[in-house]
Amino acid sequence: MHEMSLCENIRDIIQEQASADGFTRVNRVWLEVGPLSCVEPEALRFGFDVVMRGSVAEGAALEIATPAAEARCLACGQSATVQHLYDPCPNCGTVKMQVTQGDELKISKLEVV
């Protein structure tokens, strides 16, 4: 389950930001988890609570948003919403699509004290 190591990375980023900005507590963390990111949101939720113990984000609420995945066709230039990595272009039918959004995992916002 690589979600645990992802949670450790999230914790480290939050701790670094706390040191830089001087906050001592995080009440809420908002993450964007793209549908093509290969991250299971429920496993991330479980790992988050465990990994945040003893950090400035201990007990913080976790909000996960899943933005739509989008790709641009390398053959015809059309952009489209996709559900899977190798979805065909709805305009020309080729599978030469380059993902432009939806494969990311990022901290979008923190509520801090």
Name the average pLDDT for the chain: 96
pLDDT digits (tens, 9 = 90+) for 53-105: 999 999 999 999 999 999 999 999 999 999 998 999 999 999 999 999 999 99
The terminus-to-terminus CA distance of the chain in angstroms comes to 31
Which pLDDT score is estimated for 101? 96
Give the start-end residues of each E strand in the chain: 26-33, 61-65, 69-73, 79-82, 97-101, 105-112
Average pLDDT over residues 2-28: 97
Domain at 90, CATH number = 3.30.2320.80
Instruction: Give the pairing type, strands 79-82 and 61-65.
Output: unpaired
Residue 21 has pLDDT above 80, yes or no: yes
In whole angstroms, what is the distance from residue 79 CA to residue 40 CA?
26
Average pLDDT over residues 27-31: 98
Domain housing 84: 3-112
Residue 23 token pair:
């906050």
For the chain, the domain total comes to 1
